[in-house]
Structures are given as structure tokens and as C-alpha cells.
Structure 1
């Protein structure tokens, strides 16, 4: 009998949250992740969790809630894994996560679930976009001088300063970097690369880790509300390291050519369709001296406000000294056939990014 009692107590100790596992924020209260707090209202048989913040919550990290100990769950309540969602879908389930000083220029958790942080041995290098569980696209400029074995990819990341997100990020090592064979720095052209992870350890698709769609080669751009999102290298080392976001629009090819020739590329610039121009309001995230390498430009899929295509990758940061902002991006649709070919050569499934 005594042995049975010991076993029961041991099991209860595992299943019950420890009173010392979380920071205290008041009498019989502790700081826990939002998903582990069972406080809220029951309306018509449906439970609505309380996501509001009070003065008690301010004693906790912004990704935690000051919760009654008796309402603390042993395991978080999270959405089921998403393995069959269509590409390019945003699943903004955690809009309530807002750090102190949050502004609209920061992305929300899970807002762009294909966003990937690319790291080298010395730290963050650039952004990228997940197109399949085994492949990320970025710029050749970002990874050309780094051996694949020294690269690592982090998907599902949000606040890179902490590990309190409601869904964990995923980290993978790199097995191969495929640079476009015609990539050149001067003049800057064909700035495109594919980064591949081990077939035995693909990224697992979850609400905060999803592939983005790639545009078919024949698609015409007519997008008035697109986004760029990614991390700024200068933010690393801060107390909160969130990806920024900004709204832009894609310029028609003829306007792009004219603006490039009038700007820093000169009148003799022979523009081709491998480059894409974007304009919009000026801001810290998209202007000149900020290192935002390979930040993806994402535009809505026609007829689907909540699904996105990867239109471009930052090739050169915007010039903001003129009357209008001008950003230069690698035109992803031009490289769609090359991306398809390189993945098929490696016997990889390309269906995940197909519209």
C-alpha cells in the first residue's frame, strides 16, 4: 500500500505545475505563459481565455500572465499542428503578445510563418523564406562566403532575445547552399540562393512554421499592398529582438526602369526583369543604412487576402534621400523554373509552394 501511495504522489508531482517553477507575482499567483493560464469566461459552453493585461501582469514578462496558481495548467493548450494548410497562409493567433513600446512596425507572432533567420558562426546574417520543409530561399550575397556546414536556419522565431513564445522555434543545420550560377556582385545580378537542410530532419509544419507560395513565371505583378518583414542585425543584443514589418507596393516594370536609371544605377543601366522595384512610405526599417539583407517582399495572392506570394528578396536597401522611397529586390518569379529544377535534381517535393 505504501508503495502505491508513493507512485501516486510521484505521478501527481509530474503532472502538477511546481509552485517554484514560475516567478511569483502576488499571493497565490505566478507568471506563466498565456496558454498555461486557465482564467477566462465560459459563454454558451465555449471558453474564452482572458488575454488582457493588468497591473499584476506587468510584473511578468510580456509573454506571460499573472495567473492564479489553481488556474495554472500543467501543459499549454496549443492549436494542432498544421501539416495540410495551403502555402502562404498567415495564422495570426497570438495578436495579444505585445512588448512594451510595441509599434505597428513590428510583426506579430506567427504573422509571417515562413520567415527564417539565417545565422553564421558569428551570429545573424540575413533573413530568408521557407518554401518547403527542406528548402529556404535567400540572396546569394548573404551566404556566398559561408560554408554550408557553418550555417544554421531558425524558423518560427519571433523574439530572438527569449524563448517564451507559445510555439517553439525550430533550428536546423545546412547541408548545401545552391547559388545561382550567373550571380555577380558588380553589377549586382541574379542574387538568388537556395539553402537545403538534411532530408532526415525537415522543418515540422506548425502554426508558426509554414511555407510561402512562389509565383508562377507568367504571373503579372499588380500589387498595391505588399509587406517586407525580417530582422535588423543592429537589434541583436537588445532586450527584445522582433522582426520588423513595413507596407510597400510593387512598381510596374517601366516605372522601375525609369527610377533605377535616375537613381544610383545611372542612365546606362540595362535593366532586366530579374530586378523588382518597390516603393512606399519611408521608415527606419526600409531606408539606406539599415542592414536588412534578403528580407522577403510578400504580396497577396489574387483573390486571397490572407495568402501570400514571395515576390522578391531585398537585393539593395532603399534610397530615402529623394522624394520617394525606392527599394530593389530580386524578382523571384524569374527564378521559379530554376528553383523547381534544382529541387527536382535533388528529388525534393516542390508541391508545397505551388499555388
Structure 2
């Protein structure tokens, strides 16, 4: 009897542990519906029992980094099946392998040691290195001289342990204190690393500070929701479809961010709560017409080298349309990079995309499942249709911006990521909220708030 009792107890404990592990990664979230739970993308994918596929709005119902909203019934069914399987394994003498202790994101809890880059030299975030000395007390002090050793991580530098200078001599501190804002739309083509950055960035990754108007919008629990565009120290434009179920109590905006999973950036991001959400009154949550919203921050953002507003375009005219079609345009965001992936990017990506003329875009989209009767409404514009380049899931609300006429490093907002049929397929453009067409509505809201947005 004692042997059977012990065996049953082992089975019970193992099953209980399995249920606890499964339920630990399946949690309620304010971003999810009542019949959904927030879980990892991998867990939702492996437990899927519907076979459904397809892409709609540029939102994947993300509820955190590498997490998404998933049907509660689907997860409960999967977890129950796993528990039954484990019970059978234990009854037949097979015991599940013991895995390493990890956090909910699957990372080992113990931090990795700093990478060595020479005798008494270590790779550390640039802002934790003061003239080749490692700073381990949390101060954000940056070194003006760095070692010659190579580091494998971006924004990390090789620092000696025995050299010291005063904090005020940091080039980052000097640049931040001496910053003078010029006007809207100016990019930082080479990024904002004072020394020569030799890290091998891929073509579709922006450099830190390159596009200083990018804003990340989070839920109150610091879970990434969508992108946005700073157009004034207190105003952010985004898409209505991303925030239609949110309130001022569930949102916050972060300007100056680059790597969502790191604090290694030389200049810190700035976070603000939302004081007011203004959605377009004619926004259609199903057809996504007029997919635009204005977020009013509770306090103005302090402008800095890595945080500056983007220019608004003039109201739509044939000349404005022609200028945009001839311009160089980019879209930025933290959404999925691969067409069939739900995984968010941790580092801000950039994609060069050509704008597509309205009638041409409508004709292309009629060759998709939208079919021949589809009409592209004037509140939309199109970009892309190039194989391998596109905005995708998680990019909703992010900006599509184009060079100002006659300029190369200065931009104006052309569109806001809205929806698409597929991601990164040839001859299937993605669809964006048409900012020039919606400019009169934007002006009305800004005027009603008693604010002013300077032009180029």
C-alpha cells in the first residue's frame, strides 16, 4: 500500500506542477477579451485548434513582448491534454525531463557575465562606461574614450577598469545639455553614437536616434501595444483601431525608445501618461475608414537629440500627392519582421517603401480576396507591394514618412500603418491612414486644444 500511495502522490504532484507551469504563462490581461488569456506566441500557436489563418489589421492582439491574446477554451483544452499525457507517462514509469529554472519569457534567471574584450577590459553598455571605467552603481555616465576591442552587442563598448574622469566631461551629457531644437522633421542620418559605431546592423534596423519622432505606446502594465508619431511635445498621432478599446488609464507613451527590452541606449527614453484620447468621429472599426487618433500627453515631452517631432504634411492636393510619390519614404516600427511571424522586434526596424498611386493600388487590391468591387476610400493611401519589404503585425499606428520636397534628411508624415491583405508580397501594397487627406481634422483638434504645431 505504501508503494502505491507514494506512486500516486508522485503522479499527483507532477500533474499539479504541470498545471501550475501552464497556468503561470496564461494570465488575464486588460488588452485581451474576457474569453482570452495572455500567453506566449509559441504557446498560443502550438495549442491552436481552429486551423484559421489570415491577416487583417496590422495588429496581432499582442499583450507583451513575445505574448499575444489567445482563446481561454483553447488553452484550457491544450493544458488538460498535456496533463493527461503526463499522467500516462508517469503510470508507465516515464518521467518528464527537468528543465532549467527560467522566467516567463524563457530566459535563465542568472544574468550573463560581461563579455571580455582584452586584459582588464569588459564589454558594457556605453552609458555605463565612463572614460574606460565600468560604472556599477546605476549612474548613467558615458565614457568619451573607449577601448579598441570589439563587442558583439550593439551599444556596448570595450572599457578598461582603471581609468576615471569627471562625469561632466561625458560627451553625452554635454550634447544633451547643449541641445537646441531646430524645427520638425530632421532625422539623425548617422544615429546618435558619439564614437564610430562598428556594430554590423542589418539593413532593416534603424540606428539609435535616427528617426527621433517614433513613439512606443504601452498599456499601463508596460506591455507594448502599438506605434505612434510625435508631432508636438504633447501630441502623438496613432491609429484608432489599436486603441479603440483603451482608456487614458490603460495607456502610456514612451518617446526616444529604440530597444524595447533594454536600457542600454545612450539617452534615456521619456514616458508620459495619456490625458485625452481623441478618435476620428467617422472611424469605422470594421472597414477601418479614418483610422486615426490623437493622444494628448499629460505633460509635454522634453525635446532632446533623440526626441523630436515629425512635420505634418499640407492638406491633400494633386501637387502634394505628386511630391509624395516622388519622395523617399520609410516606415518604422517594432512589429513582426517575417511575413508569417507573430514575434515582435525588440529593436526599432526601418523599411524603405515606395508610395503607390491611389487607382493603381485599388487595382492591385482588387486582384486579392477583396475582389473586383472593392473601392479604396480617400482616407487611405498605399505603400509597398515590394517582395520582402512591408509593415506587418504589431506595426499598427506607426508612421510612414517621406522626404520633404528638395530635401534628403528631413521628413513629413504621410501615413499611419492601418491594414493589409498579406505581408511583404509582390504587387500587394499595404494600406495606411492618409494623413494629408486627414490634415483638416488634425488641425481642428489641435486648435480646440489651444496648441500650435509649427510647419517645415
TM category, shorter: 0.7 to 0.9
- The residue that corresponds to 1:173 in the other structure is 273
Change (3 A) 1:261 1:24: closer
Deviations 1:241-295 (A, max 9, x none): 10111111001222122223333433222333211011243237535xx332122
- The residue that corresponds to 2:438 in the other structure is 335
Q: 1:327 deviation in Å? A: 0.7
Change (3 A) 1:64 1:27: same
Q: Which has the larger radius of gyration?
A: 2
Matched, 1:249 2:354: yes
User: In 2, Cα distance between the equivalents of 1:340 and 1:32?
Assistant: 46
Matched, 1:348 2:451: yes
- The residue that corresponds to 2:335 in the other structure is 232
Kept after mapping to 2: 8 A contact 1:131/1:213? yes
Aligned to 1:335, the other structure's residue is in SS state helix
Aligned to 1:229, the other structure's residue is in SS state strand
Kept after mapping to 1: 8 A contact 2:379/2:434? yes
Matched, 1:204 2:298: no
Q: Which is worse superposed, 224-233 or 314-323?
A: 314-323
TM-score by length of 2: 0.62
Change (3 A) 1:30 1:186: closer
- The residue that corresponds to 2:48 in the other structure is none
- The residue that corresponds to 1:66 in the other structure is 158
- The residue that corresponds to 2:185 in the other structure is 88
User: In 1, Cα distance between the equivalents of 2:155 and 2:206?
Assistant: 15
- Larger helix percent: 2
Matched, 1:115 2:214: yes
- The residue that corresponds to 1:5 in the other structure is none
Aligned to 1:163, the other structure's residue is in SS state coil
- The residue that corresponds to 1:163 in the other structure is 263
User: In 2, Cα distance between the equivalents of 1:328 and 1:52?
Assistant: 47
TM-score by length of 1: 0.79
Coordinate RMSD, CA, aligned = 2.8
- The residue that corresponds to 1:34 in the other structure is 126
Change (3 A) 1:168 1:98: farther
Change (3 A) 1:74 1:112: same
- The residue that corresponds to 2:412 in the other structure is 309
Kept after mapping to 1: 8 A contact 2:217/2:226? yes
Structure 2 gaps of 5+ residues are 1-112, 133-143, 337-341
User: In 1, Cα distance between the equivalents of 2:377 and 2:385?
Assistant: 22
Aligned to 2:445, the other structure's residue is in SS state helix
Change (3 A) 1:345 1:326: same
Change (3 A) 1:51 1:282: farther
Matched, 1:269 2:374: yes
Change (3 A) 1:256 1:291: same
Q: 1:204 deviation in Å? A: 0.7
Q: 1:333 deviation in Å? A: 0.8
User: In 1, Cα distance between the equivalents of 2:193 and 2:428?
Assistant: 31
Q: 1:302 deviation in Å? A: 0.8
User: In 2, Cα distance between the equivalents of 1:97 and 1:120?
Assistant: 33
Kept after mapping to 2: 8 A contact 1:224/1:248? no
Structure 1 gaps of 5+ residues are 1-21, 40-48
